[in-house]
A and B are shown apart, each in its own frame.
Chain A
Amino acid sequence: MASVTYDKATRLYPNTPRPAVDSLDLDIADGEFLVLVGPSGCGKSTSLRMLAGLEEVNGGRILIGDKDVTDIAPKDRDIAMVFQNYALYPHMTVAENMGFALKIAGVGKEERAARVLEAAKLLDLEDYLARKPKALSGGQRQRVAMGRAIVRQPQVFLMDEPLSNLDAKLRVQTRTQIASLQRRLGVTTVYVTHDQTEALTMGDRIAVLKDGILQQVGTPRQLLDAPQNVFVAGFIGSPAMNLFPADVTEDGVMFGTALLATPRETLAKVTGTSVTIGVRPEDIEISPIEGKGLQVQVDLVEELGADGYLYGHSEVEGKRTDIVARVDGRDHPNAGETVYVHPVESHVHLFNTESGERINPAAGH
């Protein structure tokens, strides 16, 4: 097992103006589950393929452990690209299915048996090694397929959107299985997805990319509580964070009619007369005082049991702005009503409107 280091790694495709991955610096610890996430075209798959040796690295280098693998062939990198199409062969036993790739690689019989047994123990398949796939349950078959990757004992597992072909229910089940298995195995894993929910539920840490540039890397909690810029703020979290422009006064930031007292150091980082304010739906409260805060027309309330989500809109700087707030599942305003909302002040995120960078310190950080 090993750590992975991207050291200013760059991928520039011929005849393109900007790099697909631009000077990526990222340290992935031994045994860590790191998720690369971002919208289509952000460079997440390219980054993974650079590590796998499937893309040329035009600048910087990539290390697995202490070894510089930048110019090493994929099969000599000691990585396993885990992909969704692992076949199980119906006439071969579980043991054969798990071990045949080792046979091709020229691993001796005793070593093969030892590795298969070890993997089978990890996967709770020890009792079924002599069986054919037909005599296994669906879940067991799935584990046999994972066993094929495990017996190779790679330093790093790479997974590129492995669940993208599955329907929603299977996706949720399988991601739980992959995450728990990875924790049991303790093998460093780099996982690519475009789905931020998948990233939040699976990763020890998440690296958010946009336009080939690393935006932020951190634990799910860090990304939710302290997004470093407007992009991360809007991309991570579901429902998405409310983001809109707000006027700045000498004493603070205006949230509708309410003044949010803001430290001088923060205000010093403002350029122009406004900031971008960000509040997560769970950090918005219905104002008890009529006329205080941001005026919102309620369009719809989605009741989800104890909680619900209020979907409404407000007029901000002459533009209609959608607002989402978490409300009590039973006791909430109804569609058509006008309410005033107010943020939990310790959980307000302020961003410089021009640069998009965060300007206020995050709560607890």
Chain B
Amino acid sequence: MSGSLNIQAARVDPNLLDLPWRLPLDEWPDEIIAALPKGISRHLVRFAHLSGHVVAVKETTDEMARGEYEMLMTLQRLDIPCVEPIACITNRLSRTGEPLKSVLVTKHLTFSLPYRALFSGRMRKKTANRLVDSLTLLLVRLHNIGFFWGDVSLSNTLFRRDAGAFAAYLVDAETGKLVARSLSDGQREHDLEIARINIAGELLDLQASGRLDESIDPVKIAKRLQETYTSLWTELTQSESFASDETWRIRERVRRLNKLGFDIEEMSITTDSAGTTVHIQPKVVDSGHHQRRLIRLTGLDAQENQARRLLNDLDEYVARHSTSGLPEDMLAHQWLTDVFEPVIMAIPRDMRRKLQPAEIFHQLLEHRWFESEKAGRDIPLTEAVESYIRDVLAHHRDEARLYNPPTGTYTVPVEIVSAKKASAAAKKALKETRVTSHSGVTTGSTAAVSPTTEPTTAPTTPPVEDASGRFVDPLTPAINDEEHEPVPFGEDPDDAIDWRDLV
């Protein structure tokens, strides 16, 4: 039994075995670590290189690693935007045979932004609202499939740019439960209450650090989530009654839902016995209305708003070329090769890590609009591309790989223990809870460290490189995550402050 490592993975990447599983995560060599996020989260998380990707490795308990791995797999199957689970690794032993914590490996979501990175510059109120709106949409989608999150927060979400708005991805499914039936009103309300307090707390913390624009009121923004959620949920689920000669109202409901990005998969339509009143209620709704249409026509995978934007341009193109007599799908293909692809190919290779192609195209359309207005004439796309690259894209940071700790706050009540103490505790825990089944990949050998050859492109801000060449998030104060003795009262400079002014 000793030396056997248990790997549960959807697709087994042989390079996974080369990661140093016999070392505690905080002792992994620098060459395989992609970034070193600071801050204390409940579990240690580090980013490592694996087969040309970056993966997040989280040390946790057996049960949690398995549970979260399976939950993320399920959410992926249900088409929920979330991080992709790669593997759950249990039964780790150190070189000296001591049990090590189990780990969950997830793929780093490229071009995703932690909320703190979005607040690194001056964020306008509108942007903050859009950020929260995207989280609201994610929450509605999760509730729609019967998922109770239990820890809704900006920290547990990653954001991808989406044509001026954002698309939210779930990062931490640790507290989530998938309820086989639909959620009760109480469960949804509880998630909303958790969201409200967490978001307000996270924004108040940004405010305390001086990084929140004065126009942004944390409490109001957090409240906005509840309001947006309620109106969206109502639109998705509410039943409607109307006279039987007003059937246009069915089409109207479908159109409103499409506009919000949802398709109706199933709608219940009933009439009363006299046949004078019709009741409708959407039963199954599915988000991604524009995404699906874009994929069907062009094969392009984009976020919902980007898809909407690209489809506008595509539809315009189709209308202009409708005299050719070609069917829509052929014209769409023509748009792809004549319009979209040349723009993307025109982006210099070294700038492709800045933004996703669909986002670049969206920004270019915006840019062309401004330039055309300024010049008082229609500027062709080919001309706009040049100035867009020179004046806009060149000044944008690389966003393909921005790392942050998944949780930018401390989470408790968990005693923060030093690495040694943690490993002793883990040893004890494993002794007590060791599971004796050993299916899966087994390796008895000492894992050799093979750093991947992929060059690390230093992202701009954040994170930044510290003196030792490690990446740190400059937005989160460095915290020594070793247990330390409390500083006696009077010896900390903050002790002189009257706390009453701060409450």
Question: A interface vs B, CB < 8 Å?
Answer: 13-14, 49, 52-56, 73-75, 81, 83-96, 99-101, 103-104, 109, 112-113, 116, 127-142, 144-146, 162, 164-170, 173-174, 177-178
Does B432 reach chain A (CB closer than 8 Å)? yes
| Residues in B whose Cβ lies below 8 Å from that of A137 | 483-486
Q: A104 to B64, Cβ gap below 8 A?
A: no
Q: B414 to A169, Cβ gap below 8 A?
A: no
| Residues in B whose Cβ lies below 8 Å from that of A85 | 42, 150-151, 175, 411
C-alpha gap A95/B503 in the complex (Å): 6
Q: B184 to A84, Cβ gap below 8 A?
A: no
- Counting chain A CB atoms within 10 Å of each CB, the highest count among B219, B411, B484 belongs to B411
Q: B428 to A87, Cβ gap below 8 A?
A: no
Q: B415 to A142, Cβ gap below 8 A?
A: yes
Given the contacts A91-B208, A93-B494, A73 and B189 also touching, CB distance less than 8 Å:
yes
C-alpha gap A303/B212 in the complex (Å): 61
| Sample of 12 more A-B contacts, CB < 8 Å, known A54-B184, A87-B411 | A49-B187, A55-B184, A83-B175, A87-B155, A89-B208, A94-B499, A130-B494, A131-B492, A135-B492, A141-B416, A168-B429, A173-B415
C-alpha gap A211/B316 in the complex (Å): 62
Closest CB in chain A relative to B188 CB, distance in Å: 9
Does B327 reach chain A (CB closer than 8 Å)? no
Q: A73 to B186, Cβ gap below 8 A?
A: yes
Given the contacts A89-B202, A170-B415, A130 and B495 also touching, CB distance less than 8 Å:
yes
C-alpha gap A182/B453 in the complex (Å): 55
Question: Which residues of chain B in 379-427 are interfacial with respect to chain A, using CB atoms and an 8 Å cutoff?
Answer: 407-417, 422, 424-426
Count CB-based A-B contacts (< 8 Å): 198
Q: B502 to A88, Cβ gap below 8 A?
A: no
Question: B interface vs A, CB < 8 Å?
Answer: 39, 42, 60-61, 63-64, 101, 150-151, 153, 155, 174-175, 181, 184-187, 189-190, 193, 196-198, 200-202, 204-206, 208-209, 219, 222, 407-417, 422, 424-426, 428-429, 432-433, 476-477, 479, 483-487, 489, 492, 494-500, 502-503
Given the contacts A73-B186, A168-B429, A89 and B204 also touching, CB distance less than 8 Å:
yes
Q: A131 to B186, Cβ gap below 8 A?
A: no
Q: A87 to B483, Cβ gap below 8 A?
A: no
Of A81, A88, A104, A138, which one neighbours B417 at CB under 8 angstroms? A138
A-B contact pairs, 20 of them (CB 8 A): A49-B187, A54-B190, A55-B184, A56-B186, A73-B185, A84-B175, A85-B151, A88-B410, A91-B209, A91-B477, A93-B497, A94-B499, A96-B503, A135-B494, A137-B484, A137-B486, A142-B413, A165-B61, A168-B429, A168-B432
Nearest neighbor of A93 in chain B, beta-carbon distance: B502
| Residues in B whose Cβ lies below 8 Å from that of A81 | 190
Closest CB in chain B relative to A81 CB, distance in Å: 7
Nearest neighbor of B432 in chain A, beta-carbon distance: A168
| Residues in A whose Cβ lies below 8 Å from that of B425 | 167-170
